[in-house]
Structure 1
Amino acid sequence: MNLEKREIIINEIQYWRNNKLLPEQYCDFLTNLYDDEAAEKDNNPISLKNLQQGNIKIWLFGFGIISLIFLISLYFSVFPWPLQLATALSVLIVCYGYSAVYRGRNHVISLILAGLGSVLTLGFGLWMIALHDLDPQLWRPILIGACGLLWCILGFLLRIGLLQYCGYAFWALLYAGFFGGKRPEASILELELLWLPLCVMMVWLSWLLHHRVKGVASVFFAVGVSLWIMPELDALLLRQDYPQWISFMLILKIAVGLALLFLFRKKWITWVAT
């Protein structure tokens, strides 16, 4: 059938469905008849329609997954550490692996699985540090750096910008913690010199790579914009005994940043859209 005619028919069926002109099952039948994409989506086992139909395999699978999660949560602390590590890696591989599988089929499920895997990565790491009485001053920065690297790589491969952004945010946190320990008494000028070159570098990389590498320009630009106000956030949140005028300086920099974004909107929107 002609694609234009089929689209008209599908839109008409949706109109009937939304206005209750036909029963729901008739609309489903007609949609599956004329829309090949809808038929493919119905093959997805994790769908409300398949759950409503009472497929016993899907419900048993869900029961097994939920039971496995509770068993791991209850007995993880009594596992020997090699089994703990193997269990954590297995769960993460499953989450990220199925996120990659569903990336082209169902973007929402892919995002949920990637987010779950990311939360579990950090959670398992902190849990194992606490269980084995490891030195948090050493192992927490290692965990933060490892999570940041993992999320940057997976965010790029899976084309999940938010995951990639979180990876760079963890690296920024590690960077702030390192220099906070080295120079706890740093002046606001030192903090500006510490963060603003990184801000300029990330915005420049966004411009440089927006035609060359797909999926990184928007992330680099967002990271660069965030780093613009990091000196003030570093002073207010991670250091002590800073004057109150830092808060007014933060508001001023936000205003200046928004003004710059407005003035150069035609340029940076092109990078982000590309």
Structure 2
Amino acid sequence: MSINADKKEIILNEINHWRNGRLLPEQYCDFLENLYMDEARPPRKSFISVTSIRQGNPWIWFLGFGISAFIFFIGFYFSRFPWPLQMASALLLTCLLYTVATLVRPRSKWNAYLAALTGNLLLLGFGIWMLRLQGWEDELSRAALIGTCAIVWALAGFFLRLSFVHYCGLACGILLYAFLFRYWHPHESWQILQLLWLPLCIVLCWLSWLVHFKRKDVSSVYFGAAATVWFMPEVDAYLLRHEAPGVLVWLGLAKLALAFIILFMFRKKWITWVAS
């Protein structure tokens, strides 16, 4: 390891120590870390760029033609494929767009989001199309599709460091949890639904605290998922079971008020979990 690399590691560790020990405000630590990283980071050459396209790089044009032709071919013949090939084609297209998101992520986070979310929509759209083509329109088949989307989206968002994609995966997991419990227990009281969802909310808050030392982007995702789960008993009763009690609106407002009270009381804790 070179001397510059050693100095860089020491300085970054010291900045991280200042951040964890609250010796400096969070924004100061971020500023110092970004400033040093910008100075120490070597210039990066981009394979895919506007300049390379304008200059007529044959590899870029060949790659663009190949990807477009591949998507067109799969879309045109998708209904004739057997279902294993349909599933493999949808996953392959999704992985291809995730690869594009990985390549553009260091230069443009918004372009990475565009590629990754396009991959998410393709996976969901091809999945729904496949279920209809095969006649698998029962609830367990839909639950399998939701579970597949949950796993793929959550892993993609985690490794690509795209918080919204990661949240979409967790949201699919929450939806799968609701569907399966409704399938096995279609008639449960509002009180039981509270016991079903609120422990999960506590677990997600704990995970948000646990990972905020290493990955603040993941911590904010878990905190957002916990906030979603907080209101899931009412959503479950109203939208999925259609057995909402008459005072559902007032119960929802009461939980909203309680959530604001809890957030206010512990504001110095949870803000450090989700700040990035």
Tell me the TM-score normalized by structure 2.
0.74
Alpha-carbon deviations, 1:233-261, whole Å to 9, x = none? 11111112323310221122123212322
Instruction: Find the residue that maps to 2:186 and give its secondary structure.
Output: coil
% identical aligned pairs: 43
From 117, 132, 135, the equivalent of 2:134 is 132
Residue matched to 2:238: 236
Distance 1:161 1:79, change over 3 A: same
Q: 1:204 to 1:40 in 2, by over 3 A?
A: closer
Whether 1:120 aligns to 2:122 is yes
Deviation of the 1:220 alpha carbon: 1.1
The answer to whether the 8 A contact 1:147-1:167 is kept is yes
Counterparts of 1:32-111 in structure 2, within 5 Å, are 45-47=48-50, 55=56, 65-66=67-68, 68-111=70-113
Distance across 2 between alignment mates of 1:82 and 1:190: 39
More deviation, 182-191/206-215 = 206-215
State the SS of the aligned residue for 1:215: helix
C-alpha contact 2:208 2:222 (8 A) present in aligned 1: yes
Aligned ranges 1:216-255 → 2 under 5 Å? 216-255=218-257
* CA distance, structure 1, for counterparts of residue 84 and residue 175 of structure 2: 29
Where relative contact order (Cα < 8 A, 6+ residues apart) is larger, the structure is 2
Distance 1:56 1:209 in 2: 43
The 3 A distance-change label for structure 1 pair 108 and 243 is: same
Change (3 A) 1:236 1:86: closer
- 1:112-158 deviation per Cα after TM superposition (whole angstroms, max 9, x unaligned): 11111111111222211111223532221112112111222221111
Aligned to 2:267: 265
How far, CA to CA, are the matches of 2:259 and 2:196 in structure 1? 18
Greater CA radius of gyration, 1 or 2? 1
1:197 CA drift (Å): 0.8
Question: C-alpha distance in 2, partners of 1:257/1:125?
Answer: 36
Aligned pairs (5 A) from 1:72-221: 72-134=74-136, 136-221=138-223
State the 1:68 CA deviation.
4.5
Q: Which residue of 1 aligns with 2:26?
A: none
Which one-letter code corresponds to 1:251 in the other structure? Answer: L
Q: In 1, are the aligned partners of 2:154 and 2:170 still within 8 Å (CA)?
A: yes
* C-alpha distance in 2 between matches for 1:238 and 1:103: 37
Contact kept? 1:232, 1:246, Cα under 8 Å? yes
Contact kept, 8 Å, 1:129 with 1:136, in 2: the verdict is no
Instruction: Give, as a single letter, the amino acid of the residue that structure 1 aligns with 2:125.
Output: G
Q: Deviations over 1:63-113 (max 9, x none)?
A: 665554344323211234454334323212211112112221222221111
Gaps of 5+ in 2: 1-40
User: Compared with structure 1, are the counterparts of its residues 44 and 254 closer, same or farther at alpha carbon in structure 2 (3 Å cutoff)?
Assistant: farther
> How many aligned positions are there?
234
Q: Determine the C-alpha separation between the residues in 1 that align with 2:158 and 2:275.
A: 16
In 2, Cα distance between equivalents of 1:180 and 1:82: 29
Q: Which amino acid aligns with 1:122?
A: L
Is contact 2:153-2:169 (8 Å) kept?
yes
How many Å separate the matches in 1 of 2:150 and 2:239? 21
Assess, with a 3 A threshold, how the Cα gap between structure 1 residues 263 and 185 changes in structure 2: closer, same or farther. Answer: same
* Structure 1 unaligned spans of 5+: 1-36
Query: 2:234 touches 2:244 (CA, 8 Å); kept in 1?
Result: no
Pair 67,273 (structure 1): closer, same or farther in 2 beyond 3 Å: same
- Letter matched to residue 104 of structure 1: P
**Structure 1 counterpart SS, 2:217:** coil
